[in-house]
Amino acid sequence: MSVSNKAIFVQKKMRWIITVFILLLVEVYAFQAFKTLFKLKWSLAIYVLITLLLIGFLMYSFNAPNPNGSFTGLRAYSIGLFLGVAAFKFATILILFGEDVFRIFEALFRKLFTPASFEIPSRRKFISTLAIGIGSLPFLGLLYGMYKGKYNYKVLTYELEFDDLPAAFDGYQITQISDLHCGSFDNRVKVNYGIDLINQQQSDAILFTGDLVNNTAAEMNDWKNDFAKLKAKDGVFSILGNHDYGDYYNWETDRKKVENLDELKSIQKEMGWKLLLDEAHEIKIANEKIAIVGVENWGKGGFKQKGDLDKATQSLSPSDFKILMSHDPSHWDAVSKNHPKKIQLTLSGHTHGMQFGIDIPGWFKWSPVQFRYPQWAGIYREAGKFINVNRGFGYLAYPGRLGIWPEITVIKLKRKVAA
């Protein structure tokens, strides 16, 4: 083994040692609250048994057959339980660590200012009870997200004004949906409720902004008849998202991967959807028009950058009113916002709002994903141009949503009246 290889080996070994040490420290801290509160003779055995059962379930789910190779079924629920328990433990140890700091300072104070010897006070049952109570909140919340939150569809409506909207399209309404991830769905009744909710908006056009599946076209076999029920006067338009290319699946051959993508495209045509692949579709009313522009996936941070906005808009002029469908919102800052052809409105998805956060539309929104994406949920405006980032209709990996609910966006276009 060369010197460089030895160094890499040592670094990897140290990372594992540090990771295991941190996990053990978390377990020890979390157990302290459990032991102090319940004072059971077999408390350690019960705690260890619960932890081992969870790890065993996680390992079994990831080794069980999963034909679509994604975080679905048992895998998804094991991830959800793991996240819930992890959130419980981390919230608990934060409280306990704070108490430990206080206990040490209390012992030092007594040692310095009283005759007492240095002795750290014992843990207080009240603090352990508080720690477990606070830790239970994210745990129960994540369980609720798996039980009900993932199908808690919300219709969010916006009215956007534009100086250059053709007069004939004043009041034109579009419905945007995104990130179906059909391979994750497990309740046909709930999903069809969401589909009916989309149709009830009676928009002039329905625009789907990518990630129809998690990995494979086969995921659509059980759902294509359901989503074929989506109807709008001017049609249903769609684009591809990063998951639709099958990049996260272990294909036997490159040919099978290509065939899978071709099948996914055919399924959208079969459902009556108009898939836009770096192209524009014009909608006309009287003698005026707007263009629905769709690009293939383009994203920063290691995601596929295939979309070609120049190609998609080559038949259009800067004065044409355009609605761009681009799956990844990072495309807006990097390309479309300052494109010479002028893109008045961009519709994206991709972020899911991380499926977790605090979201009071029009008032306050927060999610950890905002540290990764400047535009991550809702409407943003800059230089007279808009982007809407849809929070997603489906879910991925964590089989639920908490605070960031599945979204159906309704946007009414309005022509701005001159002052």
Q: So what's the pLDDT on residue 8?
A: 60
pLDDT of residue 64: 79
CA angle (122 as vertex; 138, 136 as ends), nearest 5: 10
Rg of the chain in Å (alpha carbons): 26
pLDDT of residue 41: 66
Eight-state DSSP code of residue 122: P
What are 211-223's pLDDT values in tens digits? 999 999 999 999 9
Structure tokens at 357: 């956060």
| Beta pairing, strands 205-208 & 236-238 | parallel
44: amino acid identity, one letter: L
pTM (two decimals): 0.86
CA dihedral 18, 24, 27, 28 (to 10 degrees): -120
Note whether 344 and 292 are within 8 A (CB).
no
Which residues, including other chains, have CB under 8 Å from residue 59's CB and lie 6 or more apart? Answer: none
Burial 378-406 (b: 16+ CB within 10 A, else e): bbbeeeebbbbbbbbbbbbbbbbbbbbbb
Task: Tally Cβ neighbours within 10 Å of residue 167.
Answer: 9
Distance CA 226, CA 283 (A): 26
Cα 263 to the chain's mean position, in Å? 25
The pLDDT, as a whole number, for residue 103 is 73
3-state secondary structure of 360: strand
Helical H runs in 39-116? 43-63, 73-113
Nearest Cα residue to 72 out of 177, 187, 186 = 186
Query: How many other β-carbons are positioned within 10 Å of the β-carbon of residue 332?
Result: 26
Side by side, the strands of the sheet bearing 385-389 are 279-285, 288-294, 322-325, 345-348, 385-389, 378-382
Please report the domains of the chain, with CATH numbers, ordered by start residue: 3-147 (no CATH), 152-415 (3.60.21.10)
The whole-number pLDDT of residue 152 equals 97
CB atoms within 10 A of CB 295: 29
Per-residue pLDDT, 405: 97
Q: What pLDDT was estimated at residue 224?
A: 96
| pLDDT the model gives residue 406 | 98
Residue with tokens 């996990």: 23
Q: In angstroms, rounded to a whole number, what is the distance separating the alpha carbons of residues 153 and 380?
A: 22
Mean pLDDT, each 10-residue run in order, the chain (419 residues): 58 70 72 66 74 84 75 81 83 77 74 65 69 82 92 97 96 98 95 98 98 96 97 98 94 95 98 98 96 97 95 96 98 96 97 94 89 96 95 95 97 87
Residue 26 near residue 93, CB atoms below 8 Å = yes
Cβ proximity of 265 and 275 under 8 Å: yes
Question: Quick one: 331 exposed, middle or buried, by C-beta within 10 A (0-12, 13-18, 19+)?
Answer: buried
Note the pLDDT tens digit of each residue in 36-62: 666 666 667 777 788 888 888 888 888
Closest CA to 347 of 156, 151, 195, 214: 156
Residues 6+ away with beta carbon under 8 Å from 85: 54, 139
Residue 193 neighbours by CB distance under 10 Å: 12
